């Protein structure tokens, strides 16, 4: 059964990956907006923002990486919606394949596409002066957290991709996720925010994830937010996966 699921998922992932490689503009578009934000914040606003923690590009890159993921998953919802409207899911139901393999194919494709976009953004940051004291282990930890975060958000994207009534609705859910880093420690220290905003910023998931990535990239061990960040990512992933599978079962029943 496991072998059947893995082989079906691999075949279906190959199908969705071909769609991405035939339209690489989706990956380019995903990377362009975060890079534009980096340029604006570093060269326009950066001189006016005092973080007290070295170069501003080093401070704000973790938040830009999360925005890159939030932008990329909108295409996952779009591709799922397109398959739903095109009758692909009904066609697959008549074939002897693992049903959940269809969803996992889209999720894995999203993961690969987002990893490529993240690599492009990090490359652009290096050209803009980003430098890191992180060793190999810290970079692996950063990659692991970003993968976990991408999986969590991708399973969130599956829900509107399956249930939206229009292509605009399938993609619009990502806008609040893109905006969330702006209400966190991603671009300015939370200490500079007014009371209610500061409270929200310090207790929402993006702040702990950003702080952890920032500490790791600075050569630290993740700081005191590490376990909070992992708990948020894991909790969101489990909840989103359960809701996505429930939505999928309802749609194909």
Residue with the bigger pLDDT between 44 and 8: it is 44
**Tens digit of each residue's pLDDT (9 = 90 or more) over 193-211:** 998 999 999 999 999 999 9
Q: How far apart are CA 11 and CA 87, in angstroms?
A: 18
Q: What is the pLDDT of residue 200?
A: 95
- The confidence band for 176, taking pLDDT boundaries of 50, 70 and 90, is confident
How distant, in Å, are the alpha carbons of 75, 83, 131, 196 from that of 80? 8, 5, 38, 37
Instruction: Find all residues with CB under 8 Å of 137, minimum gap 6, and list them.
Output: none
The domain segmentation of the chain, as residue ranges, is: 2-252
- CA dihedral over 204, 210, 216, 219, signed as positive or negative: negative
- pLDDT at site 168: 76
Q: Does the global pTM surpass 0.75?
A: yes
């Amino acid at each position: 059964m496991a072998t059947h699921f893995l082989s079906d998922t691999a075949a279906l992932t190959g199908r969705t990956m071909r769609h991405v490689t035939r339209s690489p503009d989706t990956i380019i578009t995903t990377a362009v907006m975060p890079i534009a934000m980096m340029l604006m914040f570093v060269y326009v606003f950066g001189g006016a923002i005092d973080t007290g923690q070295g170069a501003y590009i080093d401070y704000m890159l973790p938040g830009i990486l999360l925005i890159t993921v939030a932008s990329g998953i909108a295409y996952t919802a779009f591709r799922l919606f397109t398959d739903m409207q095109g009758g692909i899911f009904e066609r697959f139901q008549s074939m002897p394949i693992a049903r959940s393999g269809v969803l996992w194919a889209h999720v894995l494709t999203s993961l690969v596409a987002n990893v490529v976009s993240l690599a492009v953004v990090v490359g652009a940051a290096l050209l803009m002066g980003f430098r890191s004291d992180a060793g190999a282990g810290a970079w692996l930890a950063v990659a692991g957290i970003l993968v976990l975060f991408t999986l969590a958000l991708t399973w969130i994207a599956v829900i509107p991709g399956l249930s939206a009534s229009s292509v605009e609705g399938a993609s619009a859910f990502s806008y609040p996720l893109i905006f969330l880093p702006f209400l966190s420690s991603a671009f300015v220290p939370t200490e500079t925010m007014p009371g209610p905003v500061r409270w929200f910023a310090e207790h929402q998931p993006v702040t702990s994830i950003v702080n952890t990535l920032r500490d790791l990239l600075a050569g630290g061990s993740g700081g005191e937010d590490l376990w909070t960040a992992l708990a948020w990512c894991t909790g969101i992933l489990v909840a989103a996966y359960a809701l996505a599978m429930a939505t999928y079962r309802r749609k194909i029943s």
